[in-house]
Structures are given as C-alpha cells and as structure tokens.
Amino acid sequence: MTDRLDAILAHIDADLDAARGRLFDLLRIPSISAQPAHAGDCRAAAEWLRGQLAGIGFEAAVKETAGHPAVVAHHPGPGGAVPHVLFYGHYDVQPADPLELWTSAPFEPVLVDGPHGPRIRARGAVDDKGQTMMWMEALRAWHAIAGSPPVAVTVLIEGEEEVGSPSLDAFLAANRADLKADVAVISDTGMWDIDTPAITTRLRGLVYAQIDMKAASRDLHSGLFGGSALNPINLLTHILGALRTADGRVTMPGFYDGVAELPEALAAQWAGLGFEEAAFLGGVGLSVPAGEPGRAPLERLWARPTCDINGIWGGYMGHGSKTVIPAEAHAKLSFRLVPGQDPARIAQGLRDFVAAHLPADAHADVTIFGESPGIEVALDSPAMTAAREILLAEFGREAVLSGSGGSIPVVESMRRLLGLDSLLMGFGLDDDQVHSPDEKFELRCFHRGTRSHARLLGRLAARG
Amino acid sequence: MTDRLDAILAHIDADLDAARGRLFDLLRIPSISAQPAHAGDCRAAAEWLRGQLAGIGFEAAVKETAGHPAVVAHHPGPGGAVPHVLFYGHYDVQPADPLELWTSAPFEPVLVDGPHGPRIRARGAVDDKGQTMMWMEALRAWHAIAGSPPVAVTVLIEGEEEVGSPSLDAFLAANRADLKADVAVISDTGMWDIDTPAITTRLRGLVYAQIDMKAASRDLHSGLFGGSALNPINLLTHILGALRTADGRVTMPGFYDGVAELPEALAAQWAGLGFEEAAFLGGVGLSVPAGEPGRAPLERLWARPTCDINGIWGGYMGHGSKTVIPAEAHAKLSFRLVPGQDPARIAQGLRDFVAAHLPADAHADVTIFGESPGIEVALDSPAMTAAREILLAEFGREAVLSGSGGSIPVVESMRRLLGLDSLLMGFGLDDDQVHSPDEKFELRCFHRGTRSHARLLGRLAARG
C-alpha cells in the first residue's frame, strides 16, 4: 500500500503543471449561477467536468435539475471495498463585479507570484473550482497508477451553490438511490494557515433575502412633494437601521431564540488557537471588530449569528445632484445562523419585521433566495479519524478542528435527505479573497490538497 | 397702449405653432448639467439661446463661468422707460433616467393630447426651457409689433440651476454692473391650477449632500468576515435611519433652530385655498401624508423643512444573491430649508452628525453639492402689484400668493449680490412630472404664460 501511495503522490507531483492547466480550462468558463445570461456557461462547465470524469474511468452524466444542471458520476472501485465515498463540489461561481477592481480579468486565469510562491488568480480559483479539482486530480492519479480509486466513488458537482442551492434538495430526494454512499467528502473550506491543515466541524447557516420597497407611482420632485410624499429610501434605511443596534445585535424579535452559549471546552480549544483578530482585520484594512461586544473573536465568526446588508440601491446614483423622491428602493441582506436557529422562522421574522414597520402606501416584497440552518458535524466518525491521520502525515501537524462562518447548505441537505455525514477538508486561506475581486488560490495549497485527497482515499480503503 | 397690446397678444396667438417649434428645437438639446458628458450640449443650448436673442434685437453673448456658460443679453428698450427688467431662466435640465419609464424619448419632444388639450412632453418641457421660452416669445412679439420691448431688458440664462448653481454667485458678483436692473422676473414656478394663476412669495432652500462611506480595503465574504468586519451599508443605513424619526422629524441637533411658526394670517390664507392633499397624493399613487404630524398640508410643503434621501447604492445590486460585505456605500440626501435656517450650519450639522456616528475604521466623505436658504419675497412691490393686475386681466381670476416647496437659489443670490427683488410668476402645474419621466408642459399654459409676460412688460412700462 505504501509503495503504491508513494507512486501516486509522485505522479501528482510530476503532473502538477498539467493539473493546473486543466483547472485553468475550467476557470475560463464564466459559470456565474446568479446571472441568467450565464446559464449556458454553467451548462458548459458541467459538460467539461463530465468529460474529465469520463476520461478517468467514471460513468459520468450531466443531470437536469430545476435550475442549473448537476454532474453525477460513479466508479465501482476495485469491488468489495468500503466505505463508498461521495465527493461533492460546485462548479458555479459568484458574480465577478466590481470588475474594475480586478488586477487581471476574472475569467482569464493567471499564475502570479506571491509570498507563498505561485498563486492562481481567477473567479472560482479556490471557491470552488480549485478545491473541486483537487479531489478530481487525486482520482486521476489513482486512475493513472492503480487503474481505479481504492474505494467505490460517487461524484456530485452542483451548479447553484452560490445562489443558495435552490434545486439541490429536490435533486437529492429524487436521486437518493443513485447517490447512496457511506460518507461525503467536501473541499469548500479553509486551512488554519498555509502550514496548518484544518477540518471544519461547525458551519453557520444562511437566510438571504431581498426587500423591494415601493411607494409613489413615479419618481417625484423632492421640493414639490417633500413633506407630504412617502420616500421609500427614507423608509428602507429606517427599517434596516432599526434591524440592528449600533454594536451589531439583531433587534428582530425572536432572532436569538435557540442560540446556545458556546460549550466551555470548545471555547477553550478555540481560545488556544492564538487567532489574532487584529491581524485578520488588518489584512483587509480594518482594526476594530464590529461584531457583538463581549464575545471572543472566533465565537463571533463561527458561533454567533449576524445580519449584513449585502446590497442596497434606489433613486439617483449618477454624478452630482438630482432632487428626486424615488418610487422604489431595494436591499439585499443576509443572516448568518448558528445551530438552534430555524431558518424558516428567521425568514418569517424578517417578513414580520418589515410589515410591522410599513406605513400605509408603502408596499414591500420580501423574497427569500436561500435558507439553511447552522450545523455541527460529528467529531468521532471513522472518516474524521482518517482525515486527521492523513493530514498529520501530509503536513506534519495536527489538523485544527475549526468552525466556519460561512454556510454550505449541502451538508445539512445530505444529512437530512441522504443520511450522510460530511467530512469538510478544505485548503483555502483567509486571504484568498473569496467572493471579492482578485480571488486566488495558492498553488501550494492546490498541490498539497490534491496529495491529501489521494492519501485520504488510500486510508479510507485501508480502514474498510 | 391697449391697441398695441392687443396687436401683440394677437401676434402671440397667431405665432403659437412657430413658438412651439422653437421650443422643440431647444428641447432637443440634452443639456444635462449634472453629467460631464453633456457639457457640450449645455454650451450648445447657450449658443442657441444667444442666437434667438440676437434675432430679436438683443445684444447677446455666451459668457464663461467656472462651470457651464451663461447667456447674457441686453436691450435698451425705447429709451428713458423704467423699470429696467432682468429676466432670469435656466437652460440646463435634470438627468432623464430612469429612461425606461419614459413613454417617448426625453430629448425628442412630442405634442400629445391630454385632458387640457395638447401638451408638450420632453425633459425640460416646463423646467425651465418651456417657461424661459414664454418670456422669450413675449419679447419676440414686442419686437415684431412694436420694434422693441417697452422697457429696458436684461436677460440672464444660466446652465447650472439643476446642480445648485455653483458658479452663479461668483458670476453675479463679477458682472454686477452688467446685470444692473430694477426688478427680476422669473418663471420657474407653478400656477395654482390650470385656470388660476399664482405668484410665488415663499421658497424653500436646499442643502444637497453626498455621503461616501468606506470601510475595508476590499469586498469581503459575509460568511468569513460577518461578525468581525465593519459593514459600511449597515453603518450608512443606521446613520440615515437615525437622522429622521419614523414620522418625519429630523433628529440632527439644531436642525430646527430659527424655524418660525407660520404667521396666523398666512396660515389662514393657505387654509382657504382648499388644497386637497388626498387628491395631490392620489395623483401619484399615495394616500397618506408622510410628513410631520400636526402640521397643515401646505405648511408641510411650503413652510416646514424636510430631509429626503435622493439616492443610495452599495454592494451587490444584480440578480439573485451575493454574500458580500462591501467595501463602500453611498447616499445622496437633501434638506429643504425654510427662512431662518442657515444652510452652512445645516451642512456642518450633517457633517457633525455623520462624524458622531462613525466608528473606528469607517471613513466618510460628506460632499455638499449646493446650499441655499429659504426665502420670502416682498408682497407689496410695484412689480408684484403689476403682476397681480395683468394675471387678473389674462385669467379673469386673482392670482394665488403661494409658497413653493422647491428652491430657486438665484432669488436669494440676486437679492444678496445685485440688490434685486424677484417676481416669481410661473405657469407649471403640479402634475407636470418635473424631474421625473414624462415631464410635460401644457400648451395652454405655455400660451397663456407668453401672453401674461407680454402684458406684464406693457404694464411695467405704463407704471414707470
């Protein structure tokens, strides 16, 4: 086994340039799931992945969903080996705007030098095309050296993760038999730092909403109508301003229902990680935490719910002045949730909060783009133990058992609909500029992540 | 005199189609002062007006200012006649967006049928190209029939009224001698209704500001940074929400300093006008006043200060969801002021209010695009008396002595810098959609306004 694994790891090392080239091919496809104009690109990305999987021995198909298609592929492995592993990834990416802040074009990937050596810059470099391609390349290396992965493998790559996976649950429910496995492996999270691997055991959930506020039937002159006519931007800012206190607590009734205090043991473990919030914030030009007072930094990021307004628009946005009372105003906002909070209740709470603040003549539509609960994953499963062992072998350091402030709704969906626990072994870094201009992925992380996945496959087979 | 005036009015009646055609020529020039791309169009509008004035016997010039040029023209009249009248207008217009809400292109004027007969639809139809062309056409008729206006006339047409007239004060101060006159006549206000003329005796002032808020050095993922990083939209909505109470009072310290209660006599006169706020609001799809409680409708519109957010933008404004904490957020807002409020103190008050709510790491630039005080004009001047007489003659009804919620900064500037009182005799209607899509001007108003200006010139000359 060790000789074979050594050969596989050597193959990965030798093949790194080609692997990077394949990732670049995928990054060139602008598969932005949020924008209908890119629906064709989403399908093209799915087709490209299907082709790659077919090329390394998988029976692979592009499957329709209610939205963008998913890629599903199967390999029986050597036969008789357990566990059956399901790899999950997503090929869709966030919108690239503001485009003018990119150093190079978001869908023309480049390799540039950084403090940790070469890095890949492109939209989706790390989230999640780069991380998906790590386990694809690990499977490719097993195929090249051993002729097959050492266990049965199912692949599921969806195309709607960045818009809240609206079609995923129905797809999982309808394909339960086809997606049967023993454990799910996902790389969509981060390392502790460039030298220290991490396994994410706690994820925040999400409720994402858009508020569309309407008042008068047309734009009005603020001189002629000011003092009489309802201004929907005044109203929207009033409501959004009332939704949070100045120090970051959400005022919506019932918002904190079910939110448990962090267990002391976990709080102590996180405190021992030496997380330097000043450096974390300093990396993005900030110096003072803006979250709830009286909470530890990692608690605020991993174990406390939040409310952020993600976008707002209305009225005159051009140069200079226009004295208008607009007819409409709009905002997008999201709540990060922790275990114990019910996303459906939070969504309804927002609708109720807006309605309670709505005067006559104002009309507000609240559209929910996605909801998922916060979750915790088991710390003592065989897969978790295997992952900790191989990460120690690859990096020479214990993996941090971390939380994550972001949400991966599929983890909850796979648990609920497929009965599957997820292993969240990711290789991104905090400074990867996920969702921002100049998103990047360290080539070193891509390389060691690929090696780690190759090791994990071997270890899972060995454990049976 | 009466025969000559009759001939002049008959000429105006006969020439109406041609006059409307000349106005259309001016309306086709997209002289949007707020947008640098239209600087050439602003100059083209000034040149066009200069040519028109030269064609009716004026010595006319396009004069440079620090911004868009002004048109200045002189006619000595018959010699010896007093008073010397200064006509003021502005050739610049508001931006036309949102373009998709126009029934026809904003800079392709059309004549369409309405309940009061034909109406002119275009950006600037009434504000202020149409109203400026009324007194231009009155001067043209005097020129055609009498060979000259009956009094000495100076014309001043500026190109920056819609952006707060930033260059006007310096221009007036530098051209004091050239602009010497006894009274200013301005048509940039409205009638009481289609059959009832009005003279505006009270105007609200304006402070227009833009707030540019910055926090992190780049856009951030709301999952990775939410709970730690400052969100500038959260902050901006919090500040703007705190700036007003839910029922429309401004909370900025000192905002109401110097605001006097409305004199009882004026309150009684306005109450007698039978203003129906329900109909006023119903015309734009609203039903309930949104201004300060406990104030009469016209008091809120004409004699109480307001705060309206005119535009807001930041973060993701596209389709669907993007879980971003943006680096920036922006808003435009304006205060309507009444006599007694000091615009400079209000502007400083806004800066102080923003600064007082600004946490560490947030940076806010407050840019003032224009400031002007609220003003009242004299009710008993010879020009006011003349105007009331000729409006009664033209319409068969007494003119309403009204207030206006809008600001005309030039009125205050001409008083302060030229020692000139202004007569505000305008012919717009409340439903003209000033500053909005489908701005229009009733042809009947254009026609009777032209006749009224021709009458006014005659009456001013007769009174000496």
For A378, the token pair is 């088991």
B319/A34 Cβ within 8 A: yes
Q: Of A338, A372, A406, at which residue does a domain stop?
A: A372
pLDDT over threshold 70, residue B1: no
Residue A321 belongs to domain spanning? 205-259+305-372
Q: How far apart are CA B446 and CA B426, in angstroms?
A: 10
Q: How does DSSP assign A72-117, residue by residue?
A: EEEE-TTSS-SPPEEEEEE--B----SGGG-SS-TTS-EEEEETTE
Q: How far apart are CA B89 and CA B132, in angstroms?
A: 5
B220: left (phi over 0), alpha (psi -120 to 50) or beta: beta
CB-CB contact of B139 with B56 (8 Å): yes
| Residue A320: inside a domain | yes
B326 and B442 housed in the same domain: no
Summarised one tens digit per residue, pLDDT across range B387-405 is 999 999 999 998 988 888 8
Q: What's the CATH code of the domain at B167?
A: 3.40.630.10
In terms of residues, how long is chain A?
Answer: 464
Summarised one tens digit per residue, pLDDT across range B187-233 is 999 999 999 999 998 889 999 999 999 999 999 999 889 999 999 99
HEC-encoded secondary structure of A142-162: HHHHHCCCCCCEEEEEECCHH
Cβ contacts of B287 within 8 Å, gap of 6 or more: A360, A361, B278, B281
A165 and A182 housed in the same domain: yes
* Burial of B336 from C-beta contacts in 10 A (0-12 / 13-18 / 19+): buried
Summarised one tens digit per residue, pLDDT across range A273-323 is 889 999 999 999 999 999 999 999 999 999 999 999 999 999 999 999 899
B127 and B197 housed in the same domain: yes
Q: Of B353, B372, B391, at which residue does a domain stop?
A: B372
Q: How far apart are CA B346 and CA B243, in angstroms?
A: 13
| Residue B313: inside a domain | yes
Q: What's the CATH code of the domain at A213?
A: 3.30.70.360
| Residue A297: inside a domain | no
CB-CB contact of B456 with B185 (8 Å): yes
Summarised one tens digit per residue, pLDDT across range B76-135 is 999 877 899 999 999 999 999 889 999 999 999 999 999 999 999 999 999 999 999 999
- Of the candidates A424, A377, A423, A412, the one whose C-alpha atom is nearest the C-alpha of residue A191 is A424
A218/B284 Cβ within 8 A: yes
pLDDT at position A247 is 84
Q: How far apart are CA B464 and CA B458, in angstroms?
A: 10
Number of CB pairs < 8 Å for A and B?
372
Across the interface, which of B163, B248, B318 has its CB nearest the CB of A35? Answer: B318
Q: How far apart are CA B346 and CA B335, in angstroms?
A: 8
CB-CB contact of A157 with A395 (8 Å): no
pLDDT over threshold 60, residue B294: yes
3-class secondary-structure state, position B145: helix
DSSP β-bridge partners for residue A354: none
Question: B306 — contact with chain A (CB < 8 Å)?
Answer: yes
A142 and A165 housed in the same domain: yes
Q: How far apart are CA A419 and CA A422, in angstroms?
A: 10
| Residue B213: inside a domain | yes
Q: Give the count of beta carbons closer than 10 Å to the beta carbon of residue A4.
A: 13
B135 and B251 housed in the same domain: no
The H or E element spanning position A347 is helix A343-356
B353 and B435 housed in the same domain: no
Q: How far apart are CA B158 and CA A364, in angstroms?
A: 41
Q: Tokens 């997008």 — which residue?
A: A332
Q: Of B372, B394, B417, at which residue does a domain stop?
A: B372
Give B-chain residues touching A242 at CB under 8 angstroms. Answer: 241
Indicate the Cα dihedral angle A29, A30, A31, A33, nearest 10°. 180
Q: Which of residues 126-165 of B touch A (CB under 8 A)?
A: 162-164
| Count of domains forming chain A | 2
Summarised one tens digit per residue, pLDDT across range B151-195 is 999 999 999 999 989 999 999 999 999 999 999 999 999 999 999
ipTM of the complex: 0.76
Mean pLDDT within A423-443: 95
Mean pLDDT within B3-30: 97
pLDDT at position B2 is 74
Q: How far apart are CA A457 and CA B304, in angstroms?
A: 74
Give B-chain residues touching A219 at CB under 8 angstroms. Answer: 98, 101, 435-437
pLDDT at position B27 is 98
- Of the candidates A383, A188, A192, the one whose C-alpha atom is nearest the C-alpha of residue A269 is A192
Rg of chain B taking only CA atoms, in angstroms: 23
Q: How far apart are CA B450 and CA B9, in angstroms?
A: 9
Distance from CA of A188 to the nearest CA of B (A): 12
Q: Are strands B183-186 and B422-426 parallel, antiparallel or unpaired?
A: parallel
| Residue B322: inside a domain | yes
Cβ contacts of B9 within 8 Å, gap of 6 or more: B141, B451, B454, B455
Mean pLDDT within A43-68: 98
Q: Give the count of beta carbons closer than 10 Å to the beta carbon of residue B445.
A: 27
CB-CB contact of B307 with B335 (8 Å): yes
| Residue B290: inside a domain | no
Q: How far apart are CA A405 and CA A401, in angstroms?
A: 14
Q: How far apart are CA B87 and CA A388, in angstroms?
A: 84
| Residue B50: inside a domain | yes
B308/A311 Cβ within 8 A: no
Mean pLDDT within A5-24: 98
Q: Give the count of beta carbons closer than 10 Å to the beta carbon of residue B454.
A: 28
Q: How far apart are CA A6 and CA B54, in angstroms?
A: 93
Question: B238 — contact with chain A (CB < 8 Å)?
Answer: yes
CB-CB contact of B377 with B411 (8 Å): yes
C-alpha A411: how far from chain center = 11
B412 and B429 housed in the same domain: yes
Q: Tokens 């205050």 — which residue?
A: B412
Q: ∠ CA A102-A104-A109 to the nearest 5 degrees?
A: 120
pLDDT over threshold 70, residue A325: yes
A358 and A221 housed in the same domain: yes
pLDDT at position A409 is 78
pLDDT at position A401 is 83
Rg of chain A taking only CA atoms, in angstroms: 23
Summarised one tens digit per residue, pLDDT across range A225-262 is 999 999 999 999 999 999 999 888 999 999 999 999 98
HEC-encoded secondary structure of A234-245: HHHHHHHHHHEC
Q: How far apart are CA B12 and CA A81, in angstroms?
A: 99
Query: Where does B28-104 have alpha helices with state H?
Result: 39-55
- Chain A's closest residue to B358, CA to CA, is A246
B198 and B220 housed in the same domain: no
Summarised one tens digit per residue, pLDDT across range A119-153 is 999 999 999 999 999 999 999 999 999 999 999 99
Q: How does DSSP assign B225-273, residue by residue?
A: HTTTS--HHHHHHHHHHHTB-TTS-B-STTTTTTPPPPPHHHHHHHHTT
Summarised one tens digit per residue, pLDDT across range A160-196 is 999 989 999 999 999 999 999 999 999 999 999 999 9
Q: How far apart are CA A305 and CA B85, in angstroms?
A: 68
A318 and A382 housed in the same domain: no
pLDDT over threshold 60, residue A1: no
Mean pLDDT within A358-377: 91
Question: A306 — contact with chain B (CB < 8 Å)?
Answer: yes
Task: Give me chain B's average pLDDT, please.
Answer: 94
A350-354, B224-228, B407-411, B414-418: segment of lowest average pLDDT: B407-411
| Residue A411: inside a domain | yes
Q: Which of residues 164-223 of B touch A (CB under 8 A)?
A: 164, 204, 206, 208, 210, 215-223
Task: Give me chain A's average pLDDT, please.
Answer: 94
CB-CB contact of B236 with B328 (8 Å): no
B22 and B164 housed in the same domain: yes
pLDDT at position A463 is 66
A152 and A25 housed in the same domain: yes
pLDDT at position B17 is 98
Summarised one tens digit per residue, pLDDT across range B332-366 is 999 999 999 999 999 999 999 999 999 999 999 99
Question: A10 — contact with chain B (CB < 8 Å)?
Answer: no
